[in-house]
Structure 1
């Protein structure tokens, strides 16, 4: 909290010097969103309350400045010997050293990654306050997605709606936010300012992109996405109406937003948790290549280390392409053969495995040797291991426990394989280092994907073609469509049922996977909570 309070104080002072008299900070800005079960600890709530008082006290001398601070407040009280929750997701308006208003969020989301009903009690009423003759109605995030909170604010005299938010990123979310806020402004006949959180918090990324719309819902100002900073909106009275204006940054394309989300997710997870750098296994395949490019964009080449760990089944082109990519990005690159360890494992198990043919057991041994080596380097040097598995693999269990799943942060665990290919091509076409061809060798993108754990292996030996697999995954996992509905869309029944079964039986693996960045509206993690043990069949 002290760090967030200091950032708010410094930003408010800069804004005041630039002429601002109303400063909006995002939802729960004093502590970050979401603090999860820290909200249940009285000491945490007390520290948040103290941080709000610190902000108010240090800004006391700025006459006329109003700062809206998002924070949790309240606590547990006893009523007839029963403990009752009275915690609130709140926003306080501070001016000249005093808290003049505190508003509690009315609409508490409890879907996707949201668990607010676990922590908070819904607020009541409305909050309207005056800033230089303008009546500002305050709403918190989900409040603005419903009509009643805005209507109550308008009935209480609001001329401008100020909405503070912690709205997580997923692909397409920015357009959805704008459409809903534009509709809210039109229905209310009031201009609206939307102040959005930016930054990474564990698996969730907040993309910022604050904006303002006029009373007709037209976009009049928009901040750049994925960038923390001050964003100014001017408010002028024109007759009985208020007119808003400001910088209008054009929207980025979908791949650019996705790339920025992954980069921010890595940068903030590594930086905020104090890791000195990252390391990953670079195989010469597209998944590890993409993760390496993301890591370098996030942290810089000096904080990234790539390790090639060839086995007897590693193709020569994999060595060549891995070396090429490491050289293009300028990262430290090492090669550690796993052949001696693999032979040692096989020798140790020869008696137990006598008379049995080699199968996935030997394939998994290779993956686990690599996991041990990477974790040893992590332990010795402090860098966190980035895993390189994608969403298609996580869904179907095409991954090895304690092998390629071993690590601390799963960068692309919510990125389907077809999207991996698309992002790789996009990144090569948008090279900020001016290298020309881009960081990822073309052959890595065009060659058939392979785990290279046995002779002649390709992914499609074990999985449906990725175009088919990912289309089924989007429908079944992300959109909750049933098998019959997917088959009715033209997919082969046997393939759909096979994919559904793979998803079901590999839940136990996903529970043991590292946390990773959420970029779709439904990821494996908080969005997906299925039992490991169960016999329901749709």
Structure 2
């Protein structure tokens, strides 16, 4: 059996266009002898469609389009697997439609309905035959590899987890060289076909790299990363095929994969907005310069236009020199990238408000004016306005950034500021794009200082805290700031486990307060591709929250589970105490009736007293039983011949051979 993996990138929701593309891929796959065609999981509506799956007409269009596609594929004699997220019982379900013999069969939904009647595992992977090969379908390979029934030959794994720069496994074939998938597949003893998506689907990004692995854990075929392709491979169970050597497999390099993922995100986001052009504000700093290089790699230099605004807050010779150097850096960048540069004189913001501005109001109004100019330029050029804000900026100074127009897309919105230096070094390795003066730690420190100064505007500058916060945070290195933010935002670590917490406890607390303070404003910032373990869009807290994580101040952690266990222990203790009290009252009553003193009762309740009671009861029971036996024997020899005698409880049958225990269960 030959399997084809169609690594294609299409716009979400274009159901008819996607089906037409799948049909064309099926034609190409059939020409290469394929029996089974697979397409990426997020192709139809992404992997987080939200309320879309609750729209009945969306489901109608999806099902009817797949049925028409199945009818066309019947003529090609190709079976296709088309995954999509659907609604099942009001909850999202990763479904896989099997297009075979002119029908579109929702395999997982059908099996769930069948298994509900039989009591089998509802969510076990569906298994079916294609060209004599037993095929299983999964969306979680590592979980299902060990649970597949015997006799499966091939597992088709549809990758749904988007690219995460900290998770190497999200890079598909690039992770195999470091041991991912190999051991699990070899232990399961079956073939694995990994269908890895490529492209940006909403805020999720995929880097491609589909592959086929034999039952010994060797990669026998791979698709390229970061581009569309059609991979066709023969599956031969139990036979060794030529494999790709480990040194020939792509190696995961964090900066390179992150850069290429962001390139895909910029390109696909612009196309989704109906444009192939980008406009951005160039400020002569590292992040705006690197954002321009990113847009050039994604869209081409002729489709990128830069805007630089000459600043008017120049009052001293040193400020004049700094402004001249900034303008020169922007012009050098535009020359390196071969992009068009639009220079604009600084607007007179004081004339707009018709009053004398305070020291803090000047930069804020200037940024608002620059945002207006960027919006106007993007409209004239029919371009997507791109922002250069980073995840560090969004964490620290979201309120000030949201006060002005920043664009509609922020490629670095999920990338911390300190990582840009390494990205710029990697990008300049392919040809100088960002001016060398900006690819330094000093440039990162200047950008961080600007972000902290921006964070002190508005609410903070009116308090006595502004100067204190600035002094405390100025002592931190950019890597320390980003390390604390990454631990708090991405990994959700408690205050006590933040890095450098012992040496910078107050600084860490202030950073977390700034993050919480900007919660409402971050929702007004441009969208960004998710390339980390948790972006701000995934980590939303209540906008009006007044709580910040300031630590436990040396106290032990106390949670709901601990509280519940304590209450259970307390309830058991109360039960034991109640039982002891009841026993004491009963023994006191018995003692009063029998004339037993309290000292004797206490002795009876002790372990030694209980032991003696048990011994006496056993001896007493034996004596009573012996007396009853003698009485029965005597009455049978001397009494009347009637079979019934009158006992203490009235007449009843007497059986000499029956034993009557004194202490019975009744």
Whether TM exceeds 0.5 here: the answer is yes
Q: Which residue of 2 aligns with 1:496?
A: 508
Counterpart in 2 of 1:336?
Answer: 344
Alpha-carbon deviations, 1:15-40, whole Å to 9, x = none? 11112111111225344434332111
* Aligned CA distance change for structure 1 residues 530 and 105 (closer, same or farther; 3 Å): farther
Question: Which residue number corresponds to residue 131 of structure 1?
Answer: 130
Q: Alignment partner of 2:269: what SS?
A: helix
The reply on whether 1:466 has 2:478 as its aligned counterpart is yes
Is the partner of 2:29 in helix, strand or coil? helix
Task: Give the direction of change, closer, same or farther, for the CA distance of 1:496–1:88 in structure 2 (3 Å limit).
Answer: closer
What is the CA-CA distance between 1:153 and the residue it aligns to?
A: 3.6
Aligned position for 2:149: 154
SS at match of 2:107: strand
Change in Cα spacing, 1:167 to 1:451, as seen in structure 2 (3 Å) is: closer
d(CA) in 1 for partners of 2:219 and 2:109? 27
Deviation string, structure 1 residues 261-290 (Cα, Å, up to 9, x no partner)? 110000000012202411000111111001
> How far apart are the structure 1 equivalents of 2:359 and 2:201?
40
- Say whether 1:533 aligns with 2:544: yes
* 1:50 match: secondary structure: helix
Specify which structure has the higher proportion of helix: 2
Q: Give the match for residue 37 of structure 2.
A: 23
The answer (yes or no) to whether the contact 1:368–1:400 under 8 Å persists in 2 is: no
SS of the residue aligned with 1:71? strand
Confirm or deny: 8 A CA contact 2:392 2:417 kept in the other structure: yes
Counterpart Cα distance in 1 of 2:206 and 2:109? 22
Give per-residue Cα distances to partners, 1:446-498, cap 9 Å, x unaligned.
353546999xx899987532121111112222122222222666541121112
- Secondary structure (helix, strand or coil) at the match of 1:412 reads coil
Q: Which runs of 5+ in 1 are unaligned?
A: 76-83, 108-121, 432-437
Q: Are 1:506 and 2:503 an aligned pair?
A: no
- Answer yes or no: is the 8 Å Cα contact 1:389–1:404 preserved in 2: no
Query: Residues of 1 paired with 2:392 and 2:135: CA distance?
Result: 47
SS at match of 2:544: coil
Give the aligned partner of residue 439 of structure 1: 433
SS of the residue corresponding to residue 251 of structure 1 reads coil
Higher mean displacement: 400-409 or 505-514: 400-409
- Structure 1's consecutive aligned runs of 4 or more residues displaced over 6 angstroms after TM superposition are 451-454, 457-462
Matched, 1:315 2:314: no
In the TM superposition, residue 524 of structure 1 has moved relative to its aligned partner by: 1.2
Residue 221 of structure 1 deviates from its aligned partner by 3.5
Within 5 Å, give how 1:197-212 maps onto structure 2.
197-212=197-212
After superposition, the Cα gap between the structure-2 partners of 1:310 and 1:202, relative to the gap in structure 1 and judged at 3 Å, is: farther
Structure 1 counterpart of 2:157 = 163
Contact 1:374 1:385 in 2 (8 A): yes
- 3-state SS of paired residue (1:335): strand
2:82 is aligned to 69
Name the counterpart of 1:396.
Answer: 396
What is the CA–CA distance in structure 2 between the aligned matches of 1:471 and 1:509, rounded to whole Å?
A: 22
Cα distance in structure 2, aligned partners of 1:516 and 1:174: 21
Deviation (angstroms), 1:430: 1.8
Conserved 8 A contact 1:145-1:180 = no
Task: Specify the SS of the correspondent of 1:261.
Answer: helix
In structure 2, relative to structure 1, the CA distance for the partners of 1:106 and 1:205 (3 Å cut) is farther
Matched, 1:411 2:411: yes
Aligned length: 491
Secondary structure of the residue aligned to 1:146 is helix
When residues 427 and 502 of structure 1 are mapped into structure 2, their CA distance, relative to the original with a 3 A threshold, is: same
Retained in 2: the 8 A contact 1:89–1:105?
no
- How far off its partner does 1:53 sit? 1.2
CA distance in 2, matches of 1:466, 1:74: 45
The answer to whether the aligner puts 1:85 opposite 2:90 as a matched pair is yes
For the pair 1:284 / 2:290, whether they are aligned, the reply is: no
**Residue 284 and residue 192 in structure 1: after superposition, are their counterparts in 2 closer, same or farther (change >3 A)?**
same
Distance in 2, matches of 1:363 and 1:452, equals 16
Change in Cα spacing, 1:311 to 1:203, as seen in structure 2 (3 Å) is same
Q: Which residue of 1 aligns with 2:275?
A: 275
Shift in Å at residue 220 of structure 1?
3.9
Query: Aligned partners of 1:58, 1:190: CA distance in 2, in Å?
Result: 31
Once residues 223 and 361 of structure 2 are traced to their aligned partners in structure 1, the CA distance between those partners, rounded to angstroms, is 52
Contact preservation (8 Å) 1:89, 1:104: no
Whole-angstrom distance in 2 between the partners of 1:98 and 1:50: 11
Runs of 5+ unmatched residues, structure 2: 1-14, 113-120, 314-321, 456-469, 550-666
Q: Deviations over 1:490-535 (max 9, x none)?
A: 541121112111111111221111111111111111x211112122
- Specify the SS of the correspondent of 1:89: strand
**1:387/1:404 contact within 8 Å kept:** no
Paired residues of 2:162 and 2:206 also in contact (CA < 8 A):
yes
Q: 1:275 to 1:243 in 2, by over 3 A?
A: same
| Alignment partner, residue 327 of structure 1 | 335
| Distance in 1 separating the partners of 2:137 and 2:52 | 25
Distance (Å, rounded) in 2 between the aligned partners of 1:104 and 1:183: 31
In 2: Cα distance, 1:439 partner to 1:467 partner:
24
Corresponding residue SS for 1:232: strand
Task: Work out the CA distance in 1 between the residues paired with 2:523 and 2:375.
Answer: 19
Give CA-to-partner distance per residue, 1:349-404, whole Å, 9 cap, x none.
33xx6xxxx33222211111101111122233332210111111111116733556
Report how far residue 100 of structure 1 moved: 5.7
Please say if residues 53 and 86 of structure 2, whose CA atoms lie closer than 8 Å, have aligned partners that are also in contact: no
Q: Secondary structure at the match of 2:438?
A: helix
CA distance in 2, matches of 1:131, 1:245: 24
The Cα shift of 1:152 comes to 5.2
With over 3 angstroms needed to count, the CA separation of the structure-2 counterparts of 1:360 and 1:216, relative to structure 1, is: farther
* Conserved 8 A contact 1:329-1:439: yes
The 8 Å contact of residues 47 and 85 in structure 2, kept in 1 or not, is answered as no
CA contact (8 A) 2:212 2:222 kept: yes
Counterpart secondary structure, 1:365: helix
2: CA distance, partners of 1:172 / 1:224: 21
Cα distance change of structure 1 residues 271 and 100 upon mapping to structure 2, 3 Å threshold: closer
Larger Cα-atom Rg: 2
Separation in structure 1 between the aligned mates of residue 454 and residue 293 of structure 2, nearest angstrom? 23
Q: Assess, with a 3 A threshold, how the Cα gap between structure 1 residues 123 and 129 changes in structure 2: closer, same or farther.
A: same
The whole-number CA distance in structure 2 between the counterparts of 1:29 and 1:244 is: 31
